[in-house]
Amino acid sequence: MMNGAECLLRTLLASDVQVCFMNPGTSEMQFVAALDRVPGMRAVLCLFEGVCSGAADGYARMAGRPGSTLLHLGPGLANALANFHNARKARSPIVSIVGEHSTEHLRYDAPLSADVAAFARAVSSDVQVLGCAKDMGRAAGEAIAAACRPPGQTAMLIVPADFSWSDAGEPGARIDPQPRAVPDARRIGQAADLLARAQTTGLLLSGSALLEGGVKAAGRIAAKTGVRVFADRNAARTASGRGRFHPERLAYFPEKAELQLAGLRDLLLVEAKTPVSFFGYPGRRSTIAPKDCAMHVLASLEEDGAAALELLADAETAPTRLEEPPALPWGGTLTLDAIGQAVSALLPENSIICDEMVSSAEPVWPHLLHAARHDYMPLAGGAIGLGMPLGIGAAIACPDRKVLVLEADGSAMYTLQSLWTIAREHLDIVLVVFANRRYRILDVEMRRTGANGFGPRAGEMIDISHPELDFTELASGMGVGATRAATVDEFVQQLAAAMQHTGPRLIEAML
């Protein structure tokens, strides 16, 4: 007989779901045992479930096909939810398998009993609780199909343990992902009409419209019409770097973003939603486009925005923008500006940048546009603790590309366990930790929410300087070699060495 666990594994593999980030427990043991009977699944052990979900997100964003996770009951799923939230906003296809107590055991209130589906529904509208073992192949196939359905989501499959150890019948057939629909000629024509009024029309790109093809087409449109092109700052993945067209990234703070969009009367949304600020603030509206600016959907979240842009763009190739690599900074104490400059000078061609810089982002970010061509990935859902897991997933999806994780020190602490998996899998990841010893973004946000700033007790709640974190020890304790840089020259030397080395390296940048 083929038991449910083996049937599940075979169904995943039939549809090219080839990587599973896992932190299994008792109820998932049959799935783990099946790894030896069924070859082909890369099982990546993580020491905390938030690493699993974040890595699956990073994998899906870079591989363009679903990653999977294997988690233990309600609490195991709970630990993964924050990064499933990010994956939801990134529209990443993920098949999340969650073990559940055996059906007989479920009627009792055992210590680990919980409403697993309730945890799942908080981040997913595709939640299946397997009803019998024989249903495994079909249900797993549906989960894969749901994960891949545009725009992409986490499909949750909750598997009672007895269905893993019972006879399950045949695996599900291969699922071919549903292609994204291309907007029809009418919509393209309307957009072309709006582009004629280039002074007051903008394009806002997100989703797959920010991948190579979409960015290139947008560049041709901009060159031809003079229209302004903007990018969702939280989009899952953006093709960036020297020589590429750079849509204007919407700023984090709404007053800056409002200035960017000032004067627009029409905004064409390409796999993007109506732009809003990150938070709401007293006396300020949430939308950032001018009040009388009309929103037009050129491509919905489910459609192919890149294809729509291609149809809009001139067939001519845009002029190639030639640009020299930036010079290396030198001398003096380390600054965010110098870090940005060093990164842009030293980043290898075709790298992947995972950005969890938070308050350090603004000075560094402009430099990255001048780095060699790369893919850029931020926290799509704003939940911190994603930077390093995202790097794990990207490195596993793209083993031949260097991954650079730019990580704030406060944020690094949420899923610090990532370092162990990075070392274990010997992933080609360079991590830069921005050690400002503060939840610095909150310095700004405190004032913005109208609170009267920080008294001594409030100040303590954003000061993480005591005890002082030592990321070289933390990294070393999990098997990742690490150094500290306090000067520009130290940073440049350490970053250059890390970029030349293959495998993990962490640099704690002392700010």
Q: Which residues inside 144-183 make contact with its own copies, applying CB under 8 A?
A: 161-162, 164-165
Task: Confirm or reject binding of residue 110 to its own copies (CB under 8 A).
Answer: yes
Task: Confirm or reject binding of residue 383 to its own copies (CB under 8 A).
Answer: yes
Partners of 269 in the β-ladder: 204, 297
Residue type for 500, please? Q
Backbone angles phi, psi at 380, to 5 degrees: -65, -35
Residue 47 Cβ vs its own copies, minimum distance, rounded to whole Å: 4
Q: Dihedral of CA 334/335/336/337: which sign?
A: negative
Task: Confirm or reject binding of residue 291 to its own copies (CB under 8 A).
Answer: no
Residue 34 Cβ vs its own copies, minimum distance, rounded to whole Å: 8
Residue 85 Cβ vs its own copies, minimum distance, rounded to whole Å: 5
Candidate residues 61, 91, 101, 244; the one interacting with its own copies per rule CB under 8 A: 101
Query: Of 135-143, 182-190, 374-382, 495-503, which part binds its own copies (CB under 8 A)?
Result: 374-382
Pairing relationship of beta strands 201-205 and 238-240 according to DSSP bridges: unpaired
Residues 35-74 close enough to bind its own copies by CB under 8 A = 35-37, 43, 45, 47-48, 50, 74
Task: Confirm or reject binding of residue 186 to its own copies (CB under 8 A).
Answer: no
Candidate residues 11, 128, 277, 359; the one interacting with its own copies per rule CB under 8 A: 277
Residue 156 Cβ vs its own copies, minimum distance, rounded to whole Å: 13
Judged by CB under 8 A, the number of residues near its own copies is: 110
Selection from 262, 268, 269, 270 nearest residue 292 by Cα: 262
For the beta carbon of residue 140, count every other beta carbon within 10 angstroms. Answer: 32
Residue 347 Cβ vs its own copies, minimum distance, rounded to whole Å: 26
Residue 39 Cβ vs its own copies, minimum distance, rounded to whole Å: 8
Candidate residues 79, 238, 240, 359; the one interacting with its own copies per rule CB under 8 A: 79
Q: How far apart are CA 507 and CA 110, in angstroms?
A: 45
Backbone angles phi, psi at 259, to 5 degrees: -65, -40
Q: Are 206 and 271 in contact (CB under 8 A)?
A: yes
Residue 435's SS3 state is strand
Nearer to its own copies, 107 or 291 (CB): 107
Nearer to its own copies, 470 or 489 (CB): 470
Residue 115 Cβ vs its own copies, minimum distance, rounded to whole Å: 6
Q: Are 488 and 329 in contact (CB under 8 A)?
A: yes
Pairing relationship of beta strands 266-270 and 228-231 according to DSSP bridges: unpaired
Query: Of 57-65, 110-118, 201-209, 387-395, which part binds its own copies (CB under 8 A)?
Result: 110-118
Residue 314 Cβ vs its own copies, minimum distance, rounded to whole Å: 33
Residue 104 Cβ vs its own copies, minimum distance, rounded to whole Å: 5
Residue 227 Cβ vs its own copies, minimum distance, rounded to whole Å: 25
Candidate residues 131, 189, 243, 280; the one interacting with its own copies per rule CB under 8 A: 280
Candidate residues 54, 219, 305, 385; the one interacting with its own copies per rule CB under 8 A: 385
Q: Dihedral of CA 114/116/118/120: which sign?
A: positive
Cβ partners under 8 Å of residue 203, min gap 6: 218, 221, 227, 228, 229, 230, 247, 267, 268, 270, 298, 309
Candidate residues 2, 9, 56, 81; the one interacting with its own copies per rule CB under 8 A: 81
Task: Confirm or reject binding of residue 118 to its own copies (CB under 8 A).
Answer: yes
Query: Of 31-39, 213-221, 330-338, 390-398, which part binds its own copies (CB under 8 A)?
Result: 31-39
Sheet strands side by side (includes 482-485) = 238-240, 374-378, 351-356, 403-408, 429-435, 505-510, 482-485
Nearer to its own copies, 94 or 423 (CB): 423
Residue 262 Cβ vs its own copies, minimum distance, rounded to whole Å: 20
Residues 220-249 close enough to bind its own copies by CB under 8 A = 234
Residue 105's SS3 state is helix
Q: How far apart are CA 357 and CA 433, in angstroms?
A: 8
Q: How far apart are CA 71 and CA 77, in angstroms?
A: 6
Task: Confirm or reject binding of residue 507 to its own copies (CB under 8 A).
Answer: no
Selection from 383, 381, 394, 482 nearest residue 431 by Cα: 482
Q: Are 309 and 217 in contact (CB under 8 A)?
A: yes
Candidate residues 265, 278, 335, 486; the one interacting with its own copies per rule CB under 8 A: 278
Query: Of 262-270, 368-376, 396-404, 443-451, which part binds its own copies (CB under 8 A)?
Result: 443-451
Residue 475 Cβ vs its own copies, minimum distance, rounded to whole Å: 8
Query: Of 171-179, 276-284, 330-338, 395-403, which part binds its own copies (CB under 8 A)?
Result: 276-284
Identify each DSSP E strand in 379-428 by its residue range: 403-408
Candidate residues 4, 8, 9, 27; the one interacting with its own copies per rule CB under 8 A: 27
The greatest distance separating any two alpha carbons of the chain, rounded to the nearest whole angstrom, comes to: 69
Q: Round the CA-based radius of gyration of the chain to a whole number and report it.
A: 23
Task: Confirm or reject binding of residue 294 to its own copies (CB under 8 A).
Answer: no
Partners of 94 in the β-ladder: 67, 154
Cβ partners under 8 Å of residue 345, min gap 6: 325, 326, 327, 328, 329, 371
Q: How far apart are CA 98 and CA 94, in angstroms?
A: 12
Residues 337-366 close enough to bind its own copies by CB under 8 A = none
For the beta carbon of residue 205, count every other beta carbon within 10 angstroms. Answer: 29
Residues 413-442 close enough to bind its own copies by CB under 8 A = 413-414, 416-417, 420, 423-424, 441-442
Nearer to its own copies, 175 or 358 (CB): 358
Residue 164 Cβ vs its own copies, minimum distance, rounded to whole Å: 8
